[in-house]
Structure 1
């Protein structure tokens, strides 16, 4: 084998190794897409807090506890963002290695779900829609499309009267 062939083969292998290493080491991110209608939070801007959280702590945290993290973020806070009514926003954060992620919206007068928990394994993307004073959840989300109707199974024969 000629020297030229050996060196070009090594270059290709080196390039492939570097590409695989770069992909394997790239931090995983979570993309959060937020749709905020004009009437969300009574038309006023609000904060969104994205944080890593232990599930037990998530259940114990109050609205006041989470709101305090806007002014004094601790090591759990991944990002705080102002959300403006009538806009859409996309936020990208680095996924924590092991813990779930809580996403809280600090409505002026929350009425229902104001935060949500994303359990591990975390998705790559989440879509959230705000309502006037809460997050749209399964209970207040529009109904999912109905599956195509299946032909009905034949009815069982009725017993003859005696």
Structure 2
């Protein structure tokens, strides 16, 4: 029993106390309007079935699950420190004016020390490459698309 308690203490000591959250919102995000982001403690089963309206209601009336509520501005890269609740997965939700796809993400245990989230106009970009490290001249503008070669032309058959 003593060893089990010692192991739990050691594991708890290895867990970060905060989550560095980096949110990249290009100028066209949310039709160019600010929006709320909520970071909440969640149960995985609850997360799977909760509606956008249920989450949005927590902006006006936060409950004990809300860890952070923050305005996200289009055209910015916002770096936020989130104090982690003990032993709870998190949901990071973005309240877009017109959500068009994934509007929240689940962060399971163990929670990482940092998390990069890139936004599109009405949804979270999935499968995104990690965000670049912070630079003083960072404007929050999205990276430019590289020039891609044109597909080869084929002769038309008569």
- TM-score of the superposition, structure 2-length normalised? 0.71
Gaps of 5+ in 2: 1-12, 130-158
Partners in 2 of 1:48 and 1:122 — Cα distance?
18
Q: Give the structure 1 partner of residue 54 of structure 2.
A: 65
- Report if aligned partners of 1:27, 1:94 keep a CA contact under 8 Å in 2: no
| 1:114 is aligned to 2:112 | no
**1:41-99 per-position Cα deviation (integer Å, ceiling 9, x unaligned):** 00000000000100011012100000000000000000100001001111111112111
Partners in 1 of 2:86 and 2:70 — Cα distance?
22
| 1:28 is aligned to 2:28 | no
Gaps of 5+ in 1: 1-23, 143-162
- Alpha-carbon RMSD across the aligned residues, in angstroms, is 1.7
Partners in 1 of 2:28 and 2:16 — Cα distance?
36
The count of aligned residue pairs is: 117
Partners in 2 of 1:123 and 1:57 — Cα distance?
21
Q: Give the structure 2 partner of residue 95 of structure 1.
A: 84
Q: Which has the larger radius of gyration?
A: 1
Q: Give the structure 1 partner of residue 115 of structure 2.
A: 126
| 1:40 is aligned to 2:32 | no
Q: Which runs of 4+ in 1 moved over 2 A?
A: none
Higher helix share: 1
Q: What are the residue-to-residue correspondences of 1:76-87 with 2, within 5 Å?
A: 76-87=65-76
